[in-house]
């Protein structure tokens, strides 16, 4: 395995990459004990695309995927760079982008799940700090269900500074925190708009909170204190989708 290889584990991750850029896949390993139709079809496609294919036992596949369920299928591929620069993002604010900013989400599964929900909600870009943020590990790629290949990620050195630039450019950036006074339903989200979600343990950093246009909470009616960050991201983003589609 090359140091720069991205590990794609499971049917969804491998077939998304096949659709996007099959030439970026260096090699595919599969478990020959899996002889079901789904695996047979996948092998046919891989062979048709001229990708190197090798058999590997379950232990070897586990070794590649590091606990991520792989369904007997692993691809090693060159990373696809769908990163976007902050300047490019700023140049394209006219199309009413919906942005998701993650302030220090470090768990790869949560990061992947946030990308998944961002893709589903039509998010234009996910903005994360260069430090204190999960990267596209096998676990993140798997949890993203293909979205790591579709959602542009903007990695910035200073998240608070980027928020200021966006707010100055007229994009409301709303931080989310359970203790906020207003709810996520009180903001007009039809124009360019961004949500900021905080880290698993600590939530939003103080400086991030101060730079946001406002703070909003998801009303919690039960006894738990907070939601998982990707669940919270889904609720916020789909409120925006609701406003933009239903009115």
Ligand X SMILES: C[S@@+](CC[C@H](N)C(=O)[O-])C[C@H]1O[C@@H](n2cnc3c(N)ncnc32)[C@H](O)[C@@H]1O
Residues of the binding site: 198, 218, 227
Shortest reach from residue 191's CB to ligand X, in Å: 21
Question: Would strands 73-77 and 125-129 be described as parallel, antiparallel, or unpaired?
Answer: unpaired
Shortest reach from residue 229's CB to ligand X, in Å: 4
Q: Which is nearer to ligand X, 103 or 119 (CB)?
A: 103
Shortest reach from residue 56's CB to ligand X, in Å: 37
> What single-letter DSSP state applies at residue 221?
-
| Annotated binding-site ranges for S-adenosyl-L-methionine | 198, 218, 227
How many residues belong to the chain? Answer: 247
| Contact partners, residue 39, CB within 8 Å, separation at least 6 | 30, 72, 73
24 vs 242: CA distance, rounded Å:
36
Q: Which residues pair with 229 in a beta bridge?
A: none
Q: Which residues pair with 8 in a beta bridge?
A: 75
224 vs 226: CA distance, rounded Å:
6
Q: Which is nearer to ligand X, 53 or 120 (CB)?
A: 120
Shortest reach from residue 230's CB to ligand X, in Å: 8
Shortest reach from residue 151's CB to ligand X, in Å: 18
Q: Which is nearer to ligand X, 54 or 220 (CB)?
A: 220
**Measured CA angle at 73 (ends 69, 75), to 5 deg:** 105
Q: Which is nearer to ligand X, 8 or 232 (CB)?
A: 232
Q: Which is nearer to ligand X, 96 or 183 (CB)?
A: 183
Question: Would strands 6-9 and 153-156 be described as parallel, antiparallel, or unpaired?
Answer: unpaired
* 3-state secondary structure at position 26: strand
# residues near ligand X by CB under 6 A: 15
Q: Which is nearer to ligand X, 126 or 218 (CB)?
A: 218
Structure tokens at 71: 């369904």
Which of residues 232, 234, 237, 239 is near ligand X by CB under 6 A?
232
Which of residues 217, 238, 241, 244 is near ligand X by CB under 6 A?
217
For ligand X, what does the binding mask look like between residues 174 and 213, x meaning CB under 6 A?
--xxx------------------xx-x--xx---------
136 vs 7: CA distance, rounded Å:
9
| Residues 118-177 interacting with ligand X (rule: CB under 6 A) | 176-177
- Which residue is listed with tokens 């769908």? 82
Binding interface with ligand X (CB under 6 A): 176-178, 197-198, 200, 203-204, 217-218, 220, 226-227, 229, 232
């Amino acid at each position: 395995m090359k140091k720069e290889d991205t590990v794609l584990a499971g049917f969804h991750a491998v077939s998304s990459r096949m659709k996007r850029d099959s030439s970026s896949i260096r090699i595919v390993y599969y478990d020959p004990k899996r002889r079901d139709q789904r695996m047979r079809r996948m092998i046919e496609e891989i062979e048709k695309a001229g990708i190197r294919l090798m058999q590997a036992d379950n232990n070897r596949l586990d070794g590649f995927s590091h606990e991520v369920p792989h369904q007997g299928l692993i691809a090693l591929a060159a990373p696809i760079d769908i990163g976007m620069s902050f300047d490019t993002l700023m140049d394209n604010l006219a199309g009413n982008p919906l942005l998701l900013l993650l302030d220090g989400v470090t768990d790869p599964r949560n990061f992947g799940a946030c990308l998944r929900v961002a893709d589903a909600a039509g998010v234009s870009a996910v903005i994360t700090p260069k430090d204190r943020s999960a990267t596209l590990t096998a676990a993140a790629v798997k949890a993203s269900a293909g979205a790591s290949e579709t959602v542009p990620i903007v990695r910035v050195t200073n998240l608070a500074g980027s928020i200021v630039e966006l707010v100055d450019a007229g994009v409301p950036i709303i931080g989310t925190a359970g203790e906020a006074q207003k709810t996520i339903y009180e903001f007009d989200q039809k124009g360019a708009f961004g949500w900021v979600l905080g880290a698993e343990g600590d939530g939003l950093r103080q400086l991030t909170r101060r730079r946001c246009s406002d703070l909003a909470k998801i009303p919690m009616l039960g006894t738990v204190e907070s939601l998982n960050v990707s669940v919270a991201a889904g609720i916020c983003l789909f409120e925006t989708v609701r406003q933009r589609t239903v009115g």
